[in-house]
Amino acid sequence: MREISHKLAFAHDGKAARYSDVFDPNNGGVQARVALGDKALLDQAVEAAKKAQPAWAAVNPQRRARVMFNFKALVEKNMDELAHLLSSEHGKVIADAKGDIQRGLEVIEFCCGIPHVLKGEYTQGAGPGIDVYSFRQPLGIGAGITPFNFPGMIPLWMSGVAIATGNAFILKPSERDPSVPVRLAELFLEAGLPEGILQVVQGDKEMVDAILDHPDIKAVSFVGSSDIAHYVYKRGVDAGKRVQAMGGAKNHGIVMPDADLDQVVNDLSGAAFGSAGERCMALPVVVPVGEKTAIALREKLIPAIEALRVGVSTDAEAHYGPVVTAAHKQKIENWIQTGVDEGAELVIDGRGFKLQGHEEGFFVGPTLFDHVTTDMEAYKEEIFGPVLQMVRAESFEEAVSLPSKHQYGNGVALFTRNGHAAREFAARVDVGMVGINVPIPVPVAYHTFGGWKRSAFGDTNQHGMEGVKFWTKVKTITQRWPDGGGTGDSAFVIPTMG
């Protein structure tokens, strides 16, 4: 059986006391096993990072940026191989796998400008003969813990900014699709990154706990489900670290009576079912405003959903592929049953979907519920599968209140032709990322990504300037250069510049 191991800066035989299966979601079999590391392995990785980091921080930022430029070119050259590898473990279709890597590369493009970003601030003459300046310094060693659903993009969100700002970075990817992060680390080395600046340690909870407790790891960035995010946040903060911990989501798409319904149906099909709904910025809840909108939308949605093609991840015609594991497929199907038990109308049932020739694959057919209500558990919780729920609202006010009151606050979209309604909505909705006629409002890399409420713990977002702030600490210098002689006076009152 093929074995997937760590990417470390020291010799290691790759053996482990424990392993985890890596599946082939298209066929349902086990395709490899991944070594699960432990505290002793992490200790060695941290030692290697400690040795390498000061010299890397001392490399001028322009040269650090050149590594980013080289890396970007290498990833582009290897895009096909990376996308196939990603798709073979995750199950998303190849074009979507390329998008996963491309969105990560866009953060690397931002990092190519790191010399400009790190320039700092300066005030000449803040007081008599006094200048004040500030700059950002790396934290030292940072770590990232990432989910299965974006094995290219999310490791690059974190590692790109952490490394470009002069830190050493240790990545603990999802044990469900662990290969792409290792390959990215290899490409970083080929791009000129010194050994020890980016290492990949494979593992599960044991490794996560070792990271959270390690005194030399100064910051932890986490993305995954909310309960784990909250746990990581609490334990990491208790250990004195900086922690940003992104959690789950249940994004709503609100459809106003004046929306272009054909466009909405196109947008919804991709946003609810693309990547089999395994996206934290998927749109699994649609809220038509008014009875007429609901009827018209439902009429157009049903044939569009029935026309979706579910296929193996290498099928270029498929709209989406299998979900990641049999356990996840079961969980999604259980949620569908819960929805039925709670009284929602199951309009299209994707359970029991079998793809000819791939009967053991982890496929779930597209599913549509109507008349979902806010008291249902199936509405309150994240399903993370190809399941779209329709919640009918009577008014704009009711529609705004739904995502605002939901426990998650990652993303939301409004479909309308009315600029005033859009402006009101953007200002009032209690959600971190808002799309106006944009179904998946993932901000570009030089802006920043992060939700609200139980979708994110901590106060600093991923990438853009927020990422730079997270991975650096600011130092402020107040200086004067007296011309000698001194006044002989001591100041016993707090100095002011007045």
Among 122-130, 147-155, 259-267, 362-370, the segment contacting ligand NAD (CB under 6 A): 147-155
Q: Is there binding between residue 248 and ligand NAD (CB under 6 A)?
A: yes
Decide if 280 is catalytic.
yes
Among 69-77, 244-252, 290-298, 465-473, the segment contacting ligand NAD (CB under 6 A): 244-252
The single residue among 5, 88, 146, 416 that binds ligand NAD, judged by CB under 6 A, is 146
The single residue among 284, 439, 451, 464 that binds ligand NAD, judged by CB under 6 A, is 451
Closer Cβ to ligand NAD, 296 or 444, answer by number: 444
Q: Residue 124: enclosing H or E segment and its boundaries?
A: strand 121-127
What is the smallest separation between the CB atom of 476 and ligand NAD, expressed in angstroms? 31
Closer Cβ to ligand NAD, 166 or 458, answer by number: 458
Rounded Cα distance, 185 and 171, in Å = 9
- The active-site residue out of 22, 52, 259, 280 is 280
Closer Cβ to ligand NAD, 145 or 400, answer by number: 145
Rounded Cα distance, 233 and 242, in Å = 9
Q: Is there binding between residue 86 and ligand NAD (CB under 6 A)?
A: no
Q: Is there binding between residue 148 and ligand NAD (CB under 6 A)?
A: yes
Among 79-87, 146-154, 341-349, 373-381, the segment contacting ligand NAD (CB under 6 A): 146-154
Closer Cβ to ligand NAD, 267 or 382, answer by number: 382
Q: Is there binding between residue 100 and ligand NAD (CB under 6 A)?
A: no
Rounded Cα distance, 181 and 177, in Å = 9
Count residues binding ligand NAD (CB under 6 A). 26
Site string for ligand NAD, 278-307 (x = CB under 6 A): --x---------------------------
SS3 assignment, position 122: strand
Q: Is there binding between residue 382 and ligand NAD (CB under 6 A)?
A: yes
Among 61-69, 88-96, 219-227, 426-434, the segment contacting ligand NAD (CB under 6 A): 219-227
The single residue among 455, 460, 461, 472 that binds ligand NAD, judged by CB under 6 A, is 455
The single residue among 5, 53, 88, 149 that binds ligand NAD, judged by CB under 6 A, is 149
Site string for ligand NAD, 190-209 (x = CB under 6 A): --------------xx--x-
Rounded Cα distance, 86 and 89, in Å = 6
In 3D space, the residue among 94, 50, 3, 21 whose CA is nearest the CA of residue 312 turns out to be 94
The single residue among 138, 152, 224, 458 that binds ligand NAD, judged by CB under 6 A, is 224
What residue is closest to ligand NAD based on CB? 224
The single residue among 335, 362, 384, 471 that binds ligand NAD, judged by CB under 6 A, is 384
Closer Cβ to ligand NAD, 36 or 402, answer by number: 36
Closer Cβ to ligand NAD, 208 or 255, answer by number: 208
CA distances to 206, 213, 354, 415, 479 from 17, rounded to whole Å, are 12, 21, 36, 52, 55
Rounded Cα distance, 98 and 68, in Å = 19
Closer Cβ to ligand NAD, 391 or 431, answer by number: 431
Residues 409-448 that bind ligand NAD (CB under 6 A): 410
Q: What are the φ and ψ backbone dihedral angles of 203, each rounded to 5 degrees? A: 165, -175
SS3 assignment, position 150: coil
What is the smallest separation between the CB atom of 445 and ligand NAD, expressed in angstroms? 14
Q: Is there binding between residue 247 and ligand NAD (CB under 6 A)?
A: yes
Q: Is there binding between residue 147 and ligand NAD (CB under 6 A)?
A: yes
Q: How many CA atoms lie within 13 A of 412 on its CB side?
A: 28
- Chain residues binding ligand NAD by CB under 6 A are 145-150, 172, 174-175, 204-205, 208, 223-225, 228, 246-249, 280, 382, 384, 410, 451, 455
Kindly list the catalytic residues. Answer: 280
